[in-house]
Structures are given as C-alpha cells and as structure tokens.
Amino acid sequence: MDKILRINMGGEKGPEALIEPLGAYAGLGGRAFTSTVVSNEVPPTCHPLSAANKVVIAPGLLSGTIAANSGRVSVGCKSPLTGGIKESNSGGQPSQVLARLGYAGVVIEGKPSGDNLYKIFINKHGVKISPDNSLKGLGNYAVVAKMKSEFGDKISCVSIGPAGEMKLAGASIAFTDMELRPTRHAGRGGVGAVMGSKGVKVIVLDDTGMKMREPKDKERFREANKKFTEGLRSHGVTGQALPAFGTNVLTNIINEAGAYPAYNFKEGRFDGASKISGETEASLETERGGLATHGCQSGCIIRCSGIYNDKDGHYLTKQPEYETVWANGGNCGIDDMDKIAMMDFLYDDFGLDTIEMGNSIAVAMEAGLLKFGDADGAINLIKEVGKGTHLGRILGSGTAVTGKVFGVERVPVVKGQAMPAYDPRAVKGLGVTYATSPMGADHTAGYATATNILKVGGYVDPLRPEGQIELSRNLQIATAAIDSTGMCLFIAFAVLDQPETFQALLDMLNAFYGLNLVADDVTALGKEILKKERAFNLKAGLSSEHDRLPDYFKTQPVMPHDVKFDVPDEDLDKVINW
C-alpha cells in the first residue's frame, strides 16, 4: 500500500488515472485516510454532487494481510444527506484486493462532461477507464453478473445501483462478498449518490498475480495474529453469539429493554419481535438449507453473516442484519421475516441504505401513505425507488426529505441522517453519540468499547450518570481509531473484555509496519480524526446547534419505561471538546 490512485473523471480528454506516491497521507488507512483527504482536498461548502467533491475509497492498515477480520473498507466524501463529512464503511472482498494491489486509497474526483456511464478496471498492470452505457439502470446483481462474464470470476466489484445513478441521498455503494454477490454496502450518508455524480457505475478489481502483503517482522506478526485470533474465538460474543445468530441476536434483548423503536419510534417494544429475531432467522436459514454462520469476507473468523433462502430453498439474500430487520421490521410494524428478506434483496440490488429507507417508509406510514404492518405495500414503495418514480425519488432521498414532503413531525434524524435501531430515550448514552457524531445519527460512531483499556481521558466511573458524556466522547475516539485499521468493528467486544487481545492488535500493527505504537498513540489518532471531521463540518455550516436530537425525543416519552431524552444541551457540547 505505497501508492494512491487518483481518477479524474473530468479530464480534458476524458477520464484519466494518475498513480502517485502517498506523500502526506503515508501511514494512514481506512477512516483516517478518507477523512484526511476529504478535509484537505474537498471545499467544505461545495455541493456534494459537484465536481469539487471526491469519493475516497481506502482499505484499512492491515487489509490485504493474513490478519483476521482485517478487510473492512472506508468510503469518504462530503455527504449529500448530512451536508457534512462522511465516512461509511463496509465488509466484503474489495478492501483485501485493493490493498494487495498496493493502493492505500482510490480518489475519484472531477465530473465527466457528458452523460456516459463508466466502468473502471484495476489490476496489477494498471487502470482502464471505459464508457459502458449498457450498464445504465442496472441493479447491482446484474452489473456484477456482466462484469463476471467480461472479466471472469476472480474479481471483486464496487458498484452502484439505480439509486446511485439517480443521485439519491439514500444511495449506497455495494462491495461484493466471497460469493461475488453485491451484498455488502457502505450504506450511510448517500455515498452512492456521490459516486453516481462522478459517472462511475462500477470499479472492477482483480488481484491475480499479487501476493498477500508481507509484514516487516513476520514472526512477531504471525504470533500477534495468533493471539488476536484466539482472543476473538474465545470471547462469548465474537466466538459464540455472533456466529450462531448474527447481529440480529440483538432484537430480543433490545426489545426486552424497551429500547426497540417500533412504529416510527412511537413505542419502545414490538409485539412481533420474536418472529423476526436472530434466533428465528437462524432457525429459518438452517431449515431451508441456507447458512446461519457465514463470513462476509475472506479471513473473517467471527462469521456473523449468513445465507437466507426462500421457502423453496433458493437463495434470496444474505442474512439481513439487525439494523435492516429492525428498520424494515419493527419500525414499520412488520413481523414477516420473508418479506423483510425480500426488502433486503431489493435494497442491495437498487443500492440503498437499509436504515435510511426503513425510516423513510416508517415516516410514510405515519403520514398515512400506507398502514403500519403493510409488508407488501412497503415492498412496492422500494420498487418505486428502483423505478425512479417521483414518489420513489422522495423516499430514496432520505427520511428527513420524506418527513418534509408528507408533513410529519416525528422524523427521527440528526444532521439529516436517520437514526439506527436503539431508542435514545431508553439508552441515553447512545442518544449522546447520535447527537454529537460528526456523521449524523450513527450507531457505529461510538461502537468500539475499548475506552477504559485505552484510558482515553482517564478511567471513567461507569456508575456516574454524567459519565455518559465522557463515555460517548471516548467511544467515538476509540471507534475512529479502529475504523482506521480496517478491522471489523466487532473485534471491539473481545478487545473490551480481554486486554491481551487489544495488545495483540497493537502488536500486529507494530510488527507489520515496524512501529512502536502504544495505546496513547491510538488515542491520539482517534482524536485527530474527530478533530478534522468536526472542523470540516463547522466550515460546512454544521455547528453545535446541529448536535441535537429532534425535540420530540425531549417532550414525548417512550413506553414501557416512560422515559424522555433529558441530557442537557450544554453537556452535549462538551462531547467533541477536549
């Protein structure tokens, strides 16, 4: 990973590729890379769909190595959904392949003058950019099938569906999985719309002839990876619960806690939760000859994904994960797992963020466009987006737009981005992160749970109520750092409980790059990233006034616990301020 690929889609003679050394970006990976490039090179006040915006795709620091769970990829840009900086990340194969091809990042900039749609092929010999208008309007599955017939099956793809071509603010970028299916998505923030604005439909990656990246100290690296792997395997969450049931294992406990947003965040519990829980989903998958335990990328040892077959035993989609099942299930009053799986397939194919879309549909239900629980109606709405009808374009532009168009007061967004699957009135600490993350309402922004091991800002007494401000800050710092390694965020659970597993992660980084990083360096990296993102947002016009939850979370209690979000604004303003 010693070079950057810049693709200028607005070159005078058409799109052009330039390979350059890392320069000031040396040593950065994943989110650290994308947020630094966007901070340095994108004017904060530019229109997100203009030539001035850039799509930055970056593998993690350990991607392309034998390190377990190291294949997460980050996508950065100015977000058309939030108007601020965005880092959205995904699993799948492309991170490993890009890294093995030697690229620390791909930066797509400029904008083509005509209306051609392009495909970009990258292999060890170089880069080829060519117009391919036969791809126009195709879903991600059809695009990947075409690329497979053209380039063979040793490839991986990064693509957009019709939603990205239409430049909808809910559009995602798809990354293919081990089976060469477009099932992994950088979903949040409308990154697919920015790729669509560049006229890029698909990037095809082929690392044939390339080898695994070699660490500086092979023996030390191998030893650290062994300890890291053992740590993941021995932990109850990463070694047992996630492999057995996937992330949707959360449905039952979040519902029991009264923190499961149902009927457009009106209730904290959903009666049909057990019908769409991870336990039920895993049973169905096994019964129908699918898989309840499956990795989304090679080198994954947690394997929290799966294969979801229809009633006849045919592949329907990958295992819909918790956020998808919630957004399109309980939040819409829908308790039919097969219908939710169909929605998941459509989102993957059209290239849409499942969280944003589920919330848009729930808001449309609240507006009376269809009834809560109407699964077929919800599927039809998604198809409207795929067809690009006026209604579909409204829904695909996100929850905030949908709420405005249909005159709904209860619109669960922060900085224009829809909330994930945890009611911030019940779990207020998550509400603090939703409010203050530079990314908008984001459940992964404060996901990494290594704070007291990292001792970011000192040890926090978890039993002090005011500790949630410090915790949210520390979690966001730790998460920003982990997002830069390219490690799957789920490693955080093992790192939380097992200091030796965290040390093994540091040892891997040190052995690979010949460094001597200690926990403080990781903390400093996380702080630096957040500082840059916050500074970009301030210049883009997003200030502390935007670090707030919608008012109704403060005035309308959620049952069963009859709780409101009551963290004072002045406390929220302390989070990204150290």
Q: Which positions touch another protein (CB under 8 A)?
A: 236-238, 240-242, 244-245, 247, 249-250, 252-254, 256-259, 269, 274, 277-280, 283, 304, 322, 422, 425-430, 433, 443, 446-447, 449, 451-452, 460-465, 467-468, 471-472, 475, 490, 493, 496, 560-561, 563
User: Rounded to the nearest whole angstrom, what is the least distance from the CB of residue 283 to another protein in the complex?
Assistant: 6
User: Rounded to the nearest whole angstrom, what is the least distance from the CB of residue 173 to another protein in the complex?
Assistant: 23
User: Rounded to the nearest whole angstrom, what is the least distance from the CB of residue 562 to another protein in the complex?
Assistant: 10
User: Rounded to the nearest whole angstrom, what is the least distance from the CB of residue 90 to another protein in the complex?
Assistant: 17
Strand duo 55-59 + 305-309: pairing: unpaired
How many residues are given for the chain?
578
User: Rounded to the nearest whole angstrom, what is the least distance from the CB of residue 449 to another protein in the complex?
Assistant: 5
- Write out the two tokens for 75: 């996508």
Q: Which residues pair with 352 in a beta bridge?
A: 171
The contacts of residue 70 (CB under 8 Å, 6+ apart) are 60, 62, 63, 64, 96, 299, 485, 486, 487, 488
User: Rounded to the nearest whole angstrom, what is the least distance from the CB of residue 177 to another protein in the complex?
Assistant: 20
Nearer to another protein, 400 or 495 (CB): 495
Q: Is the dihedral of CA 250, 255, 261, 264 positive or negative?
A: positive
Nearer to another protein, 104 or 471 (CB): 471
- Write out the two tokens for 97: 């392949």
User: Rounded to the nearest whole angstrom, what is the least distance from the CB of residue 497 to another protein in the complex?
Assistant: 8
User: Rounded to the nearest whole angstrom, what is the least distance from the CB of residue 158 to another protein in the complex?
Assistant: 26
Nearer to another protein, 176 or 474 (CB): 474
The contacts of residue 375 (CB under 8 Å, 6+ apart) are 332, 334, 336, 339, 340
The contacts of residue 323 (CB under 8 Å, 6+ apart) are 247, 354, 355, 420, 421, 443
Q: How far is CA 425 from CA 183, 266, 464, in A?
A: 32, 11, 18
Nearer to another protein, 213 or 269 (CB): 269
Nearer to another protein, 465 or 568 (CB): 465
Nearer to another protein, 32 or 563 (CB): 563
User: Rounded to the nearest whole angstrom, what is the least distance from the CB of residue 311 to another protein in the complex?
Assistant: 13
Nearer to another protein, 5 or 563 (CB): 563
Nearer to another protein, 25 or 493 (CB): 493
Residue 229: count other Cβ atoms within 10 Å of its Cβ: 19
Nearer to another protein, 43 or 462 (CB): 462
Structural contact between residues 345 and 316, judged by C-beta atoms closer than 8 angstroms: yes
3-state secondary structure of 566: coil
CA angle 431, 433, 438 (to 5 degrees): 130
Q: How far is CA 88 from CA 32, 169, 575, in A?
A: 12, 13, 21
- Cα separation of 492 and 271, whole Å? 31
End-to-end C-alpha distance for the chain, whole angstroms: 33
